């Protein structure tokens, strides 16, 4: 039977852990509400801007040459995995890192791969691998704002137009609900012409463009790409808090179950100790009586 003091110490330790996980769950829930509001508000704006851009671009009938849509032989690839800065969020980070590794090994084994990690966990993981790692933007989650995030997007866009990379891929968690996050591997550049054509078939809107269609496209395309990039960061941010809230809730429940077992063990050990003391007293009394 376990020592009473040891069991009591374990009970106190589990109680302290349970209080921490419960507090972390409440903090994650508060952050999730704000993050969820941001992504909910961003999605309609992002979709509408993309639809307008696709319609205008398709209607130009080749009048505008979009540098971000140029397709080249894929020799150099930039992969952007989006993770969190902290752990304790279940398989949130592991799923992104696993998907990134699979993408590199299966899709771009013959290409030169460069990784631009966003989030401390991705940076710490890939800096130990034999890959080219760009470490300038991994602290993006210290300030999740468009003004901060756009620098990473601008780097990827400029490097693509300069021919440094032939393809740019985003790997991140798409937020569905508190308990569900889906890992998405999404082509960021070049812009997909297939999506453009399918969107135009769905919605054909006649726009009056000033000063010119070409000028509007040249202004809209970079803005739209930065918005899409920012949306991916917001999706990942909301997914992180949802995953952490779920993980801490489960940890709190598990601590409660463990406490039940430990308290039962403590009571049994205490009862056994009392029984032994009674037996010793009785045995001593009998021994004295026998004299």
Comparing 11-15, 56-60, 78-82, 264-268, which segment has the lowest mean pLDDT? 56-60
Mean pLDDT (whole number) for 213-240: 88
Specify whether 89 is catalytic: yes
Q: 180-189 and 167-177 as β-strands: parallel, antiparallel, unpaired?
A: antiparallel
Residue tagged active-site, from 14, 89, 152, 227: 89
Length of the chain in terms of residues written: 291
Cα(263)–Cα(10) distance, integer angstroms: 10
User: What are the distances in angstroms from CA 238 to CA 23, 25, 116, 245, 269?
Assistant: 18, 14, 21, 11, 46
Is residue 41 domain-resident? yes
Q: Which residue has the tokens 């400029």?
A: 158
Is residue 275 domain-resident? no
Number of domains forming the structure of the chain: 1
Task: Classify residue 62 by its DSSP letter.
Answer: T
Report which of 63, 49, 79 is spatially closest to residue 223, judged by C-alpha positions: 49
The pair phi, psi for residue 74, each rounded to 5°, is -80, 100
pLDDT value, residue 57? 63
Is residue 183 domain-resident? yes
CATH of the domain at 73: 3.40.1380.10
The pair phi, psi for residue 208, each rounded to 5°, is -95, 115
Q: Is 216 helix (H, G, I), strand (E, B) or coil?
A: helix
Mean pLDDT (whole number) for 39-64: 74
pLDDT tens-digit readout, 146-201: 999 999 999 999 999 999 999 999 999 999 988 889 999 999 998 865 544 444 44
Cα(225)–Cα(220) distance, integer angstroms: 9
pLDDT value, residue 138? 95
Report which of 34, 23, 20, 24 is spatially closest to residue 175, judged by C-alpha positions: 34
Q: Give the list of residues 6+ apart from residue 251 with CB closer than 8 angstroms, or none.
A: 17, 21
* Residues 166 and 156: beta-carbon distance below 8 Å: no
Is residue 10 domain-resident? no
Is residue 237 domain-resident? yes
pLDDT value, residue 103? 95
**Reported pTM:** 0.84
Rg of the chain on CA atoms, in Å = 29
Is residue 35 domain-resident? yes
Report which of 11, 28, 25 is spatially closest to residue 256, judged by C-alpha positions: 11
pLDDT band at 290 (very low <50, low <70, confident <90, very high): low
Per-residue tokens: 20? 């921490």
Cα(243)–Cα(235) distance, integer angstroms: 12
Cα(249)–Cα(242) distance, integer angstroms: 11
Cα(207)–Cα(213) distance, integer angstroms: 9
Q: Which residue has the tokens 């790692």?
A: 133
If one counts every other C-beta atom within 10 angstroms of the C-beta of residue 161, the result is 14
Is residue 94 domain-resident? yes
Is residue 18 domain-resident? no
Look up the domain containing 117 and give its range: 23-246
């Amino acid at each position: 039977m376990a020592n009473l003091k040891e069991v009591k110490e374990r009970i106190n330790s589990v109680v302290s852990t349970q209080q921490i996980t419960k507090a972390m769950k409440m903090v994650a829930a508060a952050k999730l509400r704000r993050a969820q509001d941001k992504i909910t508000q961003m999605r309609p704006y992002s979709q509408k801007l993309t639809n307008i851009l696709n319609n205008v671009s398709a209607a130009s009938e080749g009048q505008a040459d979009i540098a971000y849509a140029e397709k080249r032989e894929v020799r150099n690839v930039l992969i952007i995995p989006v993770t969190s800065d902290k752990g304790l969020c279940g398989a949130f980070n592991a799923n992104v890192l696993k998907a990134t590794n699979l993408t590199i090994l299966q899709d771009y084994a013959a290409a030169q791969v460069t990784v631009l990690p966003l989030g401390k966990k991705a940076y710490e993981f890939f800096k130990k691998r034999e890959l080219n790692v760009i470490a300038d933007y991994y602290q993006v989650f210290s300030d999740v704002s468009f003004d901060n995030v756009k620098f990473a997007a601008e780097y990827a866009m400029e490097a693509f137009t300069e021919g440094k990379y032939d393809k740019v891929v985003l790997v991140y968690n798409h937020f569905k609900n508190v308990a569900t996050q889906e890992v998405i591997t999404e082509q960021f550049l070049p812009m997909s012409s297939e999506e453009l054509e399918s969107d135009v078939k769905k919605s054909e809107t006649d726009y009056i463009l000033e000063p010119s269609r070409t000028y509007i496209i040249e202004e809209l395309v970079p803005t739209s790409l930065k918005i899409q990039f920012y949306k991916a960061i917001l999706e990942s941010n909301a997914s992180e808090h949802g995953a952490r809230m779920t993980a801490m809730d489960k940890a709190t429940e598990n601590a409660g179950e463990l406490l039940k077992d430990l308290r039962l063990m403590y009571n049994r050990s205490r009862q056994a100790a009392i029984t032994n003391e009674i037996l010793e007293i009785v045995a001593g009394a009998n021994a004295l009586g026998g004299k």
